[in-house]
């Protein structure tokens, strides 16, 4: 038995033991800290500029702005795809959607045009070792709350490493048919009991996440709070609508047209002024604040890493009967469903207490697959490069580093989308961004450093640079086994 006298004697002769947190430590040893908690807040269809810290002057997001002031904001964060399911698969697996052959939202758009709509995987395979499975193996309690959209019941979160699944199912959005009211109960969602009539879905999901945190505050946990919002339908929070209607009336209308031509037959919204959508953004932000407040209330703020991100760009395109668009990603071009920056660049904030510098900003390009190895390293766990093969750990950046040393980022969206997008792929190499359109294999080249809005196509002026970057994109597609669409034999050009 170690008594006070023998302990002090041991210290005196250089054993150098100390008692910290109930553990006996020898001289030079670091006290063992508990593994950090993770609260990952994933938003659906939130654009790069849809919060104050990201540049919005119409939407009000005090809680996200606070989070950005306490953590690190990433200006060049990218979704793995311009649509949801592929990005969600990339987050869970650490692999690029093209490698997984999950290249469109599930089940996808089956219309046939100049190119055939190709088949793709309709679920995240159970053989993939998800980030939840890796953390669970290391002793974490795990829960998934909200939108899953990665396959049928046999592929739901509880089959992919999550101890608890709340509201995660095959659906991509809330129900609005029959007796169901979208974001207001009754919801009609699998794995979520309807609440009192009129209950608000983002509030309910935040409640469920907070309850899990409270029940598991004494052990490390991973909470994936994957909101269905701010995906359509656009349903205003009535108590906020008047404020934003008045704000719209008082705002200075920007010069120029409200919509500009995008592609052959679509138009892009140029500024933010939709009151109903603004209420959804503010209500989402309020629930971010509630979750952050719960972390503080439980006394676990110093041990909890908070990550905030979106699955693709905001909906800004008017095409046929798709829409009307309610958001704008300007100065970025286009939006959800497109490989232009507005479709793939997303808001991202990471708060790692004691590590990230408060209010810091990182301009290094990062992408969805990076979260997997980042969280493993944050937790002090061994990396699994054979699993998260397409991701790089961001720990160095979060500690103040300037570069990942990555050669390029890639996107592969070989499908038609309801926004008017036509099959294409893209690559970013440093400041250079090349987009290749698969119907005719034409390319566009942009200097994102000088032209983040992708207005000035340099492919004709810089043929050598264009050829070099294009070759890199083709080599990457071959490396990952990316599926390419075939011509539709029944198609006749009009």
Q: Pick the range with the lowest mean pLDDT from 8-17, 187-196, 301-310.
A: 8-17
List the one residue out of 420, 231, 228, 423 whose CA is nearest residue 322. Answer: 420
pLDDT band at 60 (very low <50, low <70, confident <90, very high): very high
Q: What pLDDT is attached to residue 130?
A: 98
- State how far Cα 360 lies from the chain centre: 20
Evaluate if residue 23 carries a pLDDT over 70.
no
Global pTM reads: 0.92
Say what percent of the chain tops pLDDT 70: 93
Q: Give me the residue label for tokens 């996808």.
A: 108
Query: What is the overall mean pLDDT for the chain?
Result: 92
pLDDT band at 494 (very low <50, low <70, confident <90, very high): low
User: What are 263-277's pLDDT values in tens digits?
Assistant: 888 999 999 999 999
Evaluate if residue 107 carries a pLDDT over 90.
yes
Q: What pLDDT is attached to residue 30?
A: 53
Q: What pLDDT is attached to residue 324?
A: 74
Q: What pLDDT is attached to residue 9?
A: 33
Evaluate if residue 58 carries a pLDDT over 70.
yes
Say what percent of the chain tops pLDDT 90: 85
Q: What pLDDT is attached to residue 110?
A: 78
For 213, the enclosing helix (H) or strand (E) is: helix 201-215
Domains of the chain: 37-407 (3.40.720.10)
Q: Which residue has the higher pLDDT, 28 or 372?
A: 372
Q: Which residue has the higher pLDDT, 146 or 15?
A: 146
Average pLDDT over residues 316-345: 91
Evaluate if residue 323 carries a pLDDT over 90.
no
The interaxial angle of helices 275-297 and 201-215, nearest 10 deg, is: 10
Residue 19 burial (10 A CB sphere; 0-12, 13-18, 19+): exposed
Average pLDDT over residues 357-370: 98
Q: How far apart are CA 342 and CA 396, in angstroms?
A: 27
Q: What pLDDT is attached to residue 22?
A: 37
User: What are 381-405's pLDDT values in tens digits?
Assistant: 999 999 999 999 999 999 999 899 9
SS3 102: coil
Q: How far apart are CA 187 and CA 189, in angstroms?
A: 5
Q: What pLDDT is attached to residue 492?
A: 84
Q: How far apart are CA 156 and CA 92, in angstroms?
A: 12
SS3 166: strand
Average pLDDT over residues 367-378: 98
215 neighbors 298 (Cβ within 8 angstroms) = no
| DSSP H helical ranges for 341-420 | 341-344, 371-378, 395-398
Evaluate if residue 19 carries a pLDDT over 60.
no
Average pLDDT over residues 33-44: 94
Average pLDDT over residues 164-191: 93
Q: How far apart are CA 306 and CA 356, in angstroms?
A: 11
Q: Pick the range with the lowest mean pLDDT from 26-30, 366-370, 469-473.
A: 26-30
Q: What is the DSSP string of 32-73?
A: PPPPPEEEEEEESS--TTSSGGGT-SSS--HHHHHHHHHSEE
pLDDT band at 13 (very low <50, low <70, confident <90, very high): very low
Evaluate if residue 32 carries a pLDDT over 70.
no
SS3 386: coil
SS3 305: strand
Evaluate if residue 493 carries a pLDDT over 90.
no
SS3 159: helix
Residue 195 burial (10 A CB sphere; 0-12, 13-18, 19+): middle
- Maximum mean pLDDT: which of 19-33, 200-214, 250-264: 200-214
Q: What pLDDT is attached to residue 178?
A: 86
């Amino acid at each position: 038995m170690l008594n006070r006298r023998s302990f002090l004697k041991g210290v005196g002769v250089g054993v150098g033991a100390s008692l910290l947190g109930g553990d006996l430590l020898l001289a030079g040893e670091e006290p063992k800290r508990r593994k950090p908690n993770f609260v990952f807040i994933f938003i659906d269809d939130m654009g790069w500029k849809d919060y104050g810290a990201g540049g919005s002057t119409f939407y009000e997001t005090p809680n996200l702005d606070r989070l950005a002031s306490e953590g690190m904001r990433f200006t060049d964060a990218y979704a793995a795809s311009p649509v949801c399911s592929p990005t969600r698969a990339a987050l869970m697996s650490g692999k690029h959607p093209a490698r997984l052959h999950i290249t469109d939202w599930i089940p996808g758009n089956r219309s046939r045009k100049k190119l055939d709509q190709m088949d793709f995987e309709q679920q995240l395979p159970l053989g993939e070792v998800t980030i939840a499975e890796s953390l669970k193996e290391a002793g974490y309690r795990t829960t998934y709350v909200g939108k899953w959209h990665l396959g049928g019941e046999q592929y739901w979160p509880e089959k992919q490493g999550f101890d608890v699944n709340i509201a995660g199912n095959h659906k991509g959005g809330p129900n609005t048919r029959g007796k169901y009211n979208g974001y207001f109960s009754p919801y009609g969602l699998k794995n979520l009991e309807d609440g009192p009539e009129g209950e608000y879905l983002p509030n309910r999901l935040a409640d469920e996440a907070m309850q899990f945190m409270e029940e598991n505050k004494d052990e490390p946990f991973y909470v994936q709070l994957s909101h269905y919002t701010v995906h359509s339908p656009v349903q205003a929070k009535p108590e906020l609508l008047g404020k934003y209607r008045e704000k719209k009336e008082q705002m200075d209308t920007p010069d120029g047209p409200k919509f500009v031509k995008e592609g052959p037959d679509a138009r892009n919204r140029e500024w933010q002024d939709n009151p109903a959508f603004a209420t959804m953004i503010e209500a989402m932000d309020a629930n971010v604040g509630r979750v952050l407040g719960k972390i503080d209330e439980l006394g676990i703020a110093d041990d909890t890493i908070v990550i905030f991100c979106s699955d693709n760009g905001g909906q800004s395109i008017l095409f046929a009967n798709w829409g009307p668009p309610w958001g704008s990603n300007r100065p970025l071009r286009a939006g959800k469903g497109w490989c232009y920056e507005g479709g793939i660049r997303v808001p991202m904030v990471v708060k790692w207490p004691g590590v990230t510098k408060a209010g810091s900003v990182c301009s290094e390009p990062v992408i969805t697959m990076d979260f997997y190895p980042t969280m493993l390293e944050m937790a002090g766990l061994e990396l699994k490069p054979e699993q998260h093969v397409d991701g790089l750990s961001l720990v160095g950046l979060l500690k103040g580093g300037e570069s990942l040393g990555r050669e390029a980022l890639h996107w592969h969206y070989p499908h038609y989308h309801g926004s008017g997008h036509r099959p294409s792929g893209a690559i970013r190499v440093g400041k250079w961004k090349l987009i290749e359109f698969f119907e005719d294999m034409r390319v566009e080249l942009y200097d994102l450093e000088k032209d983040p809005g992708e207005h000035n196509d340099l492919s004709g002026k810089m043929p050598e640079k264009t050829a070099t970057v294009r070759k890199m994109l083709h080599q990457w597609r071959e490396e990952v086994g990316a599926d390419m669409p075939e011509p539709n034999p029944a198609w006749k050009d009009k």
